[in-house]
Amino acid sequence: MKHLLALKDLTSNEILFLIDKAIEIKKNPEKYSTAMKDKTLLMIFEKPSLRTRLSFETGMTQMGGHAIFYSIKDSPLGKKESIHDTAKTASRYVDIIMARLNKFTDLKELADNSSVPVIDALSDMNHPCQIICDLQTIKEKKGKLKGLTLTYMGDSENNVTYSLMHGCALVGMNIKIGCPNDKRFMPKESVIQEAEEIAKKTGSTVKIIHDPIEAVKNADIVYTDSWMSYHIPESEQEERIKVLKPFQVNSELMKHAKKDALFMNCLPAMRGFEQTADVIDGPQSIVFDQAENRLHAQKAIILWLLGKI
């Protein structure tokens, strides 16, 4: 049984295959228009979503299948019944499950007890679907992945950062993390080690840098994510802005990256927080091409997990 949980579980060949498939499916969507006939995807959400929900649901529809949106509010998951029982029951009805849960440990339990593939659609530790689509977008724009340098700026104790670290290392891209010298905003040591181990094999590098200018220097891609991830309480906003402000991606900072550097954000984004409006709405920004690719990449992921490609 194949699942998509952490990107570090994939081989370099597997992630490169998914990226190339996503590019191919985008060019020839009609080739897959019945690939999911009579198939059902269950989508369990414990946190909000726009892109993930819409792209998975639309992807299933475009491939002739069906998706069920299931809010955790309507579910006994983990409260009235165990995750084990939910997984066993749901597997009897549906062909594939994606879940956006607060805790990766809950996702793991869901996957361990499911007889159909399970996808981590954002947990505290991972956002693998996002990063497959991000790498697809970079490959489309730059024509290659290996040897490029991506700088991630801002809150780095973060699911997107972790999957970017795994994903970049797997495809041979160098990753620089620009973040405050403060444990609350730095990647966990365990993830740094995992990424470094993968990077050693692909000949790439993983660097944690606390000087914002040094971090973006010579970057091909500058990437940022929300300073206020879904699980962060509003009461922390003021303090977070204070600490993270030096790592805001603004046009002054972008000047230190390569001339042809691209700007990415997985979205949702707040102008004036993790980036300024002139950057996200400016000519270097590719955030909506990136968002569109969620659709094509989800299709590749679903087809791969179900053994259709």
Question: Between 68 and 269, whose beta carbon lies closer to ligand NVA?
Answer: 269
Binding mask 264-283 for ligand CP (x = CB under 6 A): --xxx---------------
- Which residue among 4, 7, 111, 122 contacts ligand NVA (CB under 6 A)? 122
CA end-to-end span of the chain: 15
204 vs 40, 86, 199, 274, CA distance in Å?
A: 39, 41, 5, 26
179 counts as catalytic: no
Part of the chain binding ligand NVA (CB under 6 A), chosen from 105-113, 153-161, 191-199, 212-220: 153-161
Residues 6+ apart with CB under 8 A from 92: none
Least spacing, CB of residue 80 vs ligand CP, in Å: 26
85-144: contacts with ligand CP (CB under 6 A): 122, 130
266 counts as catalytic: yes
Q: Which amino acid is at 58?
A: T
Helix-then-strand count for the chain, H and E: 12, 9
Q: Which of ligand CP, ligand NVA, none binds 229 (CB below 5-8 Å, type-dependent)? A: ligand NVA
Phi, psi angle pair for 126, to nearest 5°: -145, 155
100 counts as catalytic: yes
294 counts as catalytic: yes
Q: Which of ligand CP, ligand NVA, none binds 135 (CB below 5-8 Å, type-dependent)? A: none
Q: Among the options 3, 51, 100, 240, which is catalytic?
A: 100
Q: Which long-range contacts (CB under 8 A, 24 or more apart) does 253-256 make?
A: 253/153, 253/212, 253/213, 253/216, 253/222, 254/216, 254/222, 254/279, 254/284, 256/213, 256/216, 256/217
Q: Among the options 155, 225, 284, 290, which is catalytic?
A: 225
Find the residue with minimal CB distance to ligand NVA: 229
The Cα–Cα gap between 63 and 245 comes to: 43
Least spacing, CB of residue 35 vs ligand NVA, in Å: 27
The Cα–Cα gap between 188 and 122 comes to: 17
Angle between helices 104-112 and 83-93 (to 10 degrees): 50
Part of the chain binding ligand NVA (CB under 6 A), chosen from 138-146, 154-162, 165-173, 289-297: 154-162
Determine if 225 is a binding residue for ligand NVA (CB under 6 A). Answer: yes
The Cα–Cα gap between 109 and 118 comes to: 10
Determine if 163 is a binding residue for ligand CP (CB under 6 A). Answer: no
Under rule CB under 6 A, how many of the chain's residues touch ligand CP?
9
Residues 6+ apart with CB under 8 A from 34: 63, 64
Radius of gyration of the chain measured on its C-alpha atoms: 19
| Residues 185, 155 contacting (CB under 8 angstroms) | yes
Determine if 226 is a binding residue for ligand NVA (CB under 6 A). Answer: yes
Determine if 160 is a binding residue for ligand NVA (CB under 6 A). Answer: yes
Among candidate residues 297, 216, 305, 225, the one with its CA nearest the CA of residue 261: 216
Determine if 159 is a binding residue for ligand NVA (CB under 6 A). Answer: yes
- Which residue among 126, 149, 158, 275 contacts ligand NVA (CB under 6 A)? 158
Q: Which of ligand CP, ligand NVA, none binds 69 (CB below 5-8 Å, type-dependent)? A: none
Instruction: Write out the residues near ligand CP by the rule CB under 6 A.
Output: 49-52, 122, 130, 266-268
Instruction: Write out the residues near ligand NVA by the rule CB under 6 A.
Output: 122, 158-160, 225-226, 229-230, 266
* Catalytic positions, written as ranges: 100, 127, 130, 225, 266, 294
